[in-house]
């Protein structure tokens, strides 16, 4: 036996295990779960209470915080780890016998699934509580979807008519995403990803990187129709937060005339949505097709003037968005920037109103093409900066996969998947709220950073 001459003052469990358990305590302290557990206790009534509701519920949350891939893995840890059992609230005098059996825990999970609506109410309550401590929550938002593969086997139409097989997933289907781009040498590339399972649509705050709303659909469902319902949910569940949403960014999967129009007209939200390329042959179109003039625009949202003397094409100078007119305002580059233009006099003569030293003014109504023209003009640096914030959703998605257990799981069926997603997002919000209340707002995004104990 290798004798240790002097033992350290603090043991490893005092340092390492405590930090992990502190993260769990942070979640428990911030979670508004009292109405749920009281309701479940009322349902149980005077029935058998071998495994009480509260510790079993806490154990379910522990499985998410400590990244257990299955209920069996969690129960093994509970039987092994006395500190965790005690923290969950199991009777310490019973030891391992206090931990629910596999069947009992499975029945508890089925009970939670049956009350998914109460979990979603808890999610919305956490969003409201975060809004109270971060009043600018939701001002900058983003939407994206992520693939969640199912653990079940695909089901054919013939097999759906047969007796249900618990190894298969009758709710999931096949999804496909295609990514395209250009390399530095100008050549095009394409990548196609396929999966069997579901698609999680997330609305997040792109500054704090926290979820504000979500929906789960089979993998084949399109992204585009899910955007407006997510925003409408905010209007119903969080009216104050909804009123403060300034902009919403999304990739080209959400590109549509309806999405851009409804966001701005119905919700007063500036859409910052990437756009598909639909013009095949024409590089530009006339801005005023009903009259002879020198202004054209392209599919990227640039407005150009064509000198009537030399035929040279120049970018108009962007002035800003006129909210009362619902138009983008541009000025003649010769007048705005002092550019010499031999055709300026002839161009100004075409104007229907007097011009003067200010030069010609062009107002582009958003309704000309809602996909191309948005309140934040596409060719501006502001649009690019706003669109870059969309990557916040990708970071949230990465945490859902790697920390909250969706890279490896054993979930089959949409109800179970939606319940597991809701629980994961509840833990994410509770961790953020707990860190803010503990005076650690810089760590509010982290699900794994140790909790700093007060000196």
Res 14: pLDDT: 47
- As for how many domains the chain has, the answer is 3
Q: Mark whether 140 and 188 lie in a shared domain.
A: yes
Q: Mark whether 180 and 314 lie in a shared domain.
A: no
Q: Mark whether 92 and 22 lie in a shared domain.
A: yes
Please give the model's pTM, rounded to 2 decimal places: 0.89
Q: What is the pLDDT of residues 194-230, one digit of tens each?
A: 989 999 999 999 999 999 999 999 999 999 999 999 9
Q: Mark whether 148 and 268 lie in a shared domain.
A: yes
* Residue 447 is assigned to a structural domain of this protein: no
Exposure of 129 by Cβ count < 10 A (0-12 exposed, 13-18 middle, 19+ buried)? middle
Q: Mark whether 249 and 229 lie in a shared domain.
A: yes
Range of the domain at 350: 285-370
Q: Mark whether 290 and 269 lie in a shared domain.
A: no
- Among the listed residues 113, 60, 62, 105, the one whose alpha carbon sits nearest the alpha carbon of residue 416: 113
Q: Mark whether 393 and 254 lie in a shared domain.
A: yes
Given a contact cutoff of 8 angstroms between Cβ atoms, the answer to whether 286 and 294 are in contact is no
Q: Mark whether 256 and 394 lie in a shared domain.
A: yes
- Which residues have CB under 8 Å from 372's CB, separation 6+? 275, 297, 299, 300, 301, 378
Res 162: pLDDT: 59
Query: In angstroms, what is the C-alpha Rg of the chain?
Result: 28
Q: Mark whether 69 and 198 lie in a shared domain.
A: no
Res 9: pLDDT: 44
Low-confidence ranges of the chain (pLDDT < 50): 1, 7, 9-17
Res 109: pLDDT: 95
Res 385: pLDDT: 96
User: From the CB of residue 109, how many other CB atoms can be counted at a distance below 10 Å?
Assistant: 16
């Amino acid at each position: 036996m290798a004798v240790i001459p002097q033992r350290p003052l603090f043991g490893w469990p005092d340092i390492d295990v405590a930090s992990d358990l502190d993260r769990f305590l942070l979640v428990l302290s911030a979670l508004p779960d009292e109405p749920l557990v009281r309701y479940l206790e009322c349902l149980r009534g005077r029935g058998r209470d071998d495994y009480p509701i509260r510790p079993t519920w806490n154990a379910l949350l522990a499985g998410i915080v400590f990244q257990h891939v299955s209920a069996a893995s969690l129960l093994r840890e509970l039987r092994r780890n006395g500190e965790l059992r005690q923290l969950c609230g199991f009777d310490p005098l019973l030891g391992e016998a206090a931990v629910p059996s596999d069947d009992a825990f499975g029945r508890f999970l089925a009970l939670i699934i049956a009350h998914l609506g109460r979990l979603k109410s808890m999610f919305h309550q956490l969003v409201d509580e975060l809004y109270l401590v971060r009043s600018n929550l939701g001002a900058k938002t983003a939407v994206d979807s992520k693939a969640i593969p199912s653990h079940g086997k695909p089901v054919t139409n013939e097999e759906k008519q047969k007796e249900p097989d618990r190894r298969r997933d009758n709710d999931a289907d096949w999804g496909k995403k295609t990514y395209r781009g250009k390399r530095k040498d100008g050549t095009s590339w394409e990548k196609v990803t396929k999966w069997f399972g579901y698609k999680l649509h997330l609305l997040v705050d792109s500054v704090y990187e926290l979820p504000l709303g979500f929906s789960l659909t089979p993998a084949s469902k399109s992204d585009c129709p899910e955007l407006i319902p997510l925003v409408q949910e905010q209007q119903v569940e969080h009216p104050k937060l909804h009123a403060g949403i300034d902009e919403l960014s999304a990739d080209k999967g959400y590109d549509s005339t309806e999405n851009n129009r409804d966001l701005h007209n119905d919700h007063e939200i500036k859409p910052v949505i990437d756009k598909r390329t639909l013009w095949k042959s024409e590089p530009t179109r006339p801005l005023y097709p009903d009259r002879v003039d020198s202004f054209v625009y392209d599919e990227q949202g640039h407005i150009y003037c064509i000198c009537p003397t030399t035929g040279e094409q120049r970018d108009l100078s962007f002035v800003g968005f006129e909210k009362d007119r619902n138009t983008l305002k541009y000025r003649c580059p010769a007048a705005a920037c002092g550019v010499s233009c031999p055709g300026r006099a002839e161009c100004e003569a075409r104007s229907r109103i007097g011009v003067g030293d200010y030069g010609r003014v062009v107002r582009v109504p958003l309704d000309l093409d809602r996909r191309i023209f948005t309140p934040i003009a596409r060719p501006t640096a502001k649009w690019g900066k706003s669109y870059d914030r969309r990557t916040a959703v990708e970071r949230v998605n990465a945490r859902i996969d790697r920390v909250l257990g969706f890279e490896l799981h054993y979930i089959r069926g949409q109800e179970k998947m939606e319940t597991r997603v809701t629980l994961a997002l509840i833990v994410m919000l509770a961790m953020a709220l707990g860190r803010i209340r503990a005076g650690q707002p810089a760590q509010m995004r982290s699900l794994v950073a140790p909790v700093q104990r007060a000196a």
